[in-house]
């Protein structure tokens, strides 16, 4: 079986809730709508921007690397789509305030938060690299929440909108070595759980997509091409289907089952996970 065949089997194994939506349904959901995608300079966010632009979305694409955003906007314009770039470092409160001002008072109907920083470090490594904790919490939680709270008043007054978080199965199965990343993604996930009911009253639906491994520049340093996972284009199709169907959460069945199993067998599973983590870091020549 080739890598690509293995990937499509992996996609199918996620179950029917993860199926794509038809082109017509995507066009109905995003056509002519103002859609903000954060983390659009690469990986999942970029692939989602290209897909939604093809279906008529009026895109605002945000990330730090302005040149990559400009190239994306040029590609979308060349294909007849509509997009504008808003370069912004979500970790910088002033930059987020400036981005909110640039986006302006016209409601953003769909916000897809795909910006994120995933860094694998052991607790020992955090001693000298505590910036891992501050950087991940700023990019994955504080910045996206600051941006959303600035934009949501207009969306709520329009009484129609969606806020979609590109989350991760790490929230369900927080693995050793990923403490900073898992905590920051869980923070946003929990924020959405609490904020969702408040927003629903004003016609704004929230969705949390707990993605499994997706092969991108972000995941490449940790997972080689042989590890079962999705392509960025497959992840984009899933996100488009989430916009169409608006599920509250989308979690792979095996991540739900794994989380339940982990809770039931906790002391033993924690020990096994700790041993596997120590071996993996030893192989990499890094302190566990």
Ligand X SMILES: NC(=O)c1ccc[n+]([C@@H]2O[C@H](COP(=O)([O-])OP(=O)(O)OC[C@H]3O[C@@H](n4cnc5c(N)ncnc54)[C@H](OP(=O)(O)O)[C@@H]3O)[C@@H](O)[C@H]2O)c1
Long-range CB contact pairs, 12-15, < 8 A, 24+: 13/254, 14/212, 14/252, 14/253, 15/252, 15/253
Q: Which region among 18-26, 71-79, 86-94, 145-153 touches ligand X (by CB under 6 A)?
A: 86-94
Residue of the chain from 6, 27, 54, 65 that contacts ligand X (CB under 6 A): 65
For ligand X, give the closer residue by CB, 62 or 204. 62
Neighbours of 275 (CB within 10 A): 11
For ligand X, give the closer residue by CB, 116 or 177. 116
63 in contact with ligand X (CB under 6 A)? yes
- Decide if 115 contacts 144 (C-beta within 8 A): yes
Residue at token pair 């302190």: 287
Closest by CA position to 156, among listed 203, 102, 208, 99: 203
**141 has catalytic annotation:** no
Residues 210-239 that bind ligand X (CB under 6 A): 211, 213-214, 216-219
107 in contact with ligand X (CB under 6 A)? no
Start-to-end Cα distance in the chain: 35
Please tell me the chain's helix, strand, coil percentages from 3-state DSSP, rounded to the nearest 5: 55, 15, 30
Given the residues 141, 181, 188, 223, select the one marked as catalytic.
181
Residues 167-196 that bind ligand X (CB under 6 A): 168
Residue of the chain from 39, 107, 174, 252 that contacts ligand X (CB under 6 A): 39
Q: Which region among 72-80, 83-91, 99-107, 192-200 touches ligand X (by CB under 6 A)?
A: 83-91
Q: What tokens appear for 72 in the block?
A: 């994306």
Give the full edge-to-edge strand order of the sheet including 34-38.
82-87, 58-63, 34-38, 110-113, 161-168, 204-211, 249-250
Q: Which region among 29-37, 76-84, 89-97, 250-258 touches ligand X (by CB under 6 A)?
A: 89-97
- Decide if 40 contacts 62 (C-beta within 8 A): yes
Least distance from ligand X to the Cβ atom of residue 104, Å? 19
Least distance from ligand X to the Cβ atom of residue 267, Å? 28
Interior CA angle at 173 toward 91 and 163, to 5°? 45
For ligand X, give the closer residue by CB, 41 or 186. 41
User: Which residues are known catalytic residues?
Assistant: 181
Residues that bind ligand X (CB under 6 A): 38-45, 63-65, 68, 88-91, 114-118, 139, 143, 166, 168, 211, 213-214, 216-219
């Amino acid at each position: 079986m080739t890598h690509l065949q293995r990937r499509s089997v992996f996609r199918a194994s996620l179950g029917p809730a993860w199926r794509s939506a038809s082109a017509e349904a995507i066009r109905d959901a995003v056509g002519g709508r103002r859609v903000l995608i954060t983390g659009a300079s690469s990986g999942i966010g970029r692939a989602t921007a290209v897909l939604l632009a093809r279906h008529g979305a009026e895109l605002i694409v945000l990330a730090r690397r302005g040149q990559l955003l400009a190239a994306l906007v040029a590609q979308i314009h060349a294909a007849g789509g509509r997009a504008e770039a808003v370069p912004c470092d979500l970790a910088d409160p002033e930059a987020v305030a400036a981005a909110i001002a640039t986006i302006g008072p016209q409601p953003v109907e769909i916000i897809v938060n795909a910006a994120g920083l995933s860094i694998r470090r052991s607790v020992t490594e955090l001693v000298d690299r505590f910036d891992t904790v501050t950087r991940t919490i700023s990019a994955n939680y504080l910045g996206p929440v600051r941006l959303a709270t600035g934009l949501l008043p207009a969306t709520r007054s329009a009484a129609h909108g969606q806020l979609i978080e590109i989350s991760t199965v790490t929230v369900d199965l927080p693995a050793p070595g990923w403490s900073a990343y898992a905590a920051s993604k869980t923070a946003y996930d929990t924020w959405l759980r609490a904020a969702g009911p408040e927003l629903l009253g004003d016609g704004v639906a929230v969705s949390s997509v707990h993605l499994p491994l997706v092969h991108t520049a972000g995941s490449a340093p940790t997972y080689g091409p042989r590890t079962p996972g999705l392509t960025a284009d497959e992840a984009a199709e899933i996100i488009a289907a989430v916009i169409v169907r608006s599920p509250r959460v989308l979690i792979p069945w095996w991540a739900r089952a794994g989380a339940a199993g982990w809770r039931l067998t906790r002391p033993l599973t924690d020990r096994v996970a700790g041993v596997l983590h120590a071996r993996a870091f030893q192989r990499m020549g890094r302190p566990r």
